[in-house]
Homo-oligomer: A and B are copies of this chain.
Amino acid sequence: MSARYDIAALKSRLGGIKTEDNPALVRQKSRDFYWYSPTLKRQLDHVTADIIVSPMSEAQVVETLAACHALGIPVTPRGTGTGNYGQAMPLSGGVLLDLSGFNAVKDVALGRVVTEPGAVIAQIDRQTRPQSRQEMRLHPSTYSTASIGGFIAGGSGGVGSIRWGGLRDAGNVIRLKVVTMEASPRVLELSGDDLHKVSHAYGTNGIITEVEMPLAPAYDWVDVIVSFDTLREATEYANAVGEADGLLLKQLAVVDAPVPHDYFLRHQKYLPRDKPVAMAMVAAHAVSSLMGMTKRFRSAEVLFRSDRMSEADLKGLPPVFELGWNHTTLRALRVDPSITYLQVLYPFPNQVELVERIHARFGDEVPAHLEFVRFDGKVTCFGLPLVRFTTEERLEEIMAIHEEMGAPIFNPHRYTLEEGGMKQTDEIQLAFKREADPDGLLNPGKMIAWEDPTYDYRSGKTFLFRGLSEHAA
């Protein structure tokens, strides 16, 4: 599909490694869940790689990177492609490095597991649970499909964050092995603060080939859904429950009416249309304590408790964590494809008031969806509110109003690290890219600081990667 790169030469150099260049298959693996965003859908729809290369070992990763480096072919790594911002989409074409087959669980010990990068998180737990009654601390709601390498390189947190904080927090990743993009790729081991070099760097500065992650005990988690008369009460409840340090929760979210009833179709019969709900995963041995706390809240009504239901009733129901995080958005999108969403931080200690004020302002145009987390030692909430989309201009305006009102946005309608994040250069990641990918061949276009060091993130404009605009032309 591209005359830019010598794909034939690459194929001949990679004799023993699985490749695929059927354009339909390549195109299919060149996308992720970027289409959640109408903006990204417009910008990235045409993006495709030239070839898929599927290494099954570290040696094959090294071989592939060396060959691509020699030939000047860009490489975009991909776990299982469940990212939401086009992170794994090859903006300059070239090689799509499919790591999904490089996926063994190598070692399980007390408090830790070592795996290859392509291991799907649910698969890891399927090995650690029976062996040692342990499971991953943190996982995205795409537990059943996402790879651990993709989570570390492209995710931030999710289920488990109410207990453990985010992936960026010390202790939530123990050690990584990373291969550099050089003539002779090096294999580096990172731990401690060095992990920040490649965590959430979208694979722009190294390919993760081994991960060591902490494990937590695998309890019997009970799904609980509680309704309230008002969003305010639901938020206060979740905040109080989240702050109860002895209450062992794995997940805690609030979703405003009418979202639960209208979009959580399998649970619909439990969910009155006019009630906001809090949804929690709580350890079986903490249920009575949670129920004790719940009684303190005037309008609280327990709608759903998985430990009180028969197998037959539970059959076909997704776990509550698949009603949370970006599954809330997914379920809404399935019913109403015009819906999109935002990513918001309601900073401690004003989260409860801020949620109320912001959502009072927007009403049903922006239904509230809060995910409670530990953040720098405090409990607060992120928002993944739904947005009943009209125009890109209005979407931008809604985001600007959030920021004005004191709630920073992590823009999910941008494919660059900086615009989707803190709107500033991550000097650690940039410095490591200079070392590990001096020719800029890894996932081009995702790190503005590399592509255009003078770029002004506060300009109000959207960064447009040159490679992408050429391609589009």
Which residues of A pack against B, CB within 8 Å? 109-112, 133, 137, 163-166, 169-172, 174-175, 191-195, 214, 216-217, 219-220, 242-248, 283-286, 288-293, 295-296, 374-379
Contacts and interface: CB of A to CB of B under 8 A. Distances in A.
A64 to B, nearest CB: 29
A111 to B, nearest CB: 4
Contacts of A245: 163-165, 169, 374-377
Contacts of A109: 285
Contact of A111 (B112, B169, B284): B284
Nearest to A375: B245
A289 B166 CA distance: 14
A283 to B, nearest CB: 6
Contacts of A169: 244-247
A197 to B, nearest CB: 12
A163 B286 CA distance: 16
Contacts of A220: 110
Contacts of A378: 243, 377-379
Contacts of A283: 111
Given A137-B246, A174-B285, 7 more contacts: A111-B283, A169-B246, A192-B293, A192-B295, A214-B285, A217-B217, A244-B377
Nearest to A111: B285
Contacts of A376: 243, 245
A217 B111 CA distance: 9
A427 to B, nearest CB: 15
Nearest to A165: B245
A129 to B, nearest CB: 12
Contacts of A110: 133, 217, 219-220, 284-285
A290 B379 contact: no
Interface of A, secondary structure class, is mixed
Contacts of A192: 288-289, 291-293, 295
A174 B111 contact: no
B243 A377 contact: yes
Number of copies: 2
18 contacts: A111-B284, A133-B133, A164-B245, A166-B246, A171-B244, A171-B246, A171-B248, A171-B289, A175-B288, A191-B288, A191-B292, A195-B292, A214-B286, A216-B217, A242-B377, A243-B376, A244-B377, A245-B374
A282 to B, nearest CB: 9
Nearest to A132: B133
Nearest to A293: B170
A113 to B, nearest CB: 10
Given A214-B248, A247-B171, A111 B219 contact: yes
A345 to B, nearest CB: 15
Contacts of A164: 245-246
Nearest to A282: B171
A215 to B, nearest CB: 8
A374 B247 CA distance: 12
Given A111-B283, A174-B288, A193 B379 contact: no
A170 B285 contact: no
A159 B226 CA distance: 33
Contact of A289 (B174, B217, B219, B286): B174
Contacts of A295: 192-193
Contacts of A290: 170-171
A62 to B, nearest CB: 25
Nearest to A247: B171
Contacts of A288: 174-175, 191-192
Contacts of A195: 292
A171 B290 CA distance: 8
**Which residue, of A109, A170, A243, A292, has the highest number of chain B Cβ atoms within 10 A?**
A170
Nearest to A291: B192
Nearest to A172: B246
Nearest 9 CB-CB pairs, A to B?
A192-B292, A243-B377, A165-B245, A171-B246, A172-B246, A169-B246, A111-B285, A171-B247, A245-B374
A163 B245 CA distance: 7
A293 B377 contact: no
A112 to B, nearest CB: 5
Contacts of A379: 377-378
Contacts of A293: 170, 192-193
Contacts of A112: 285
Contacts of A194: 292
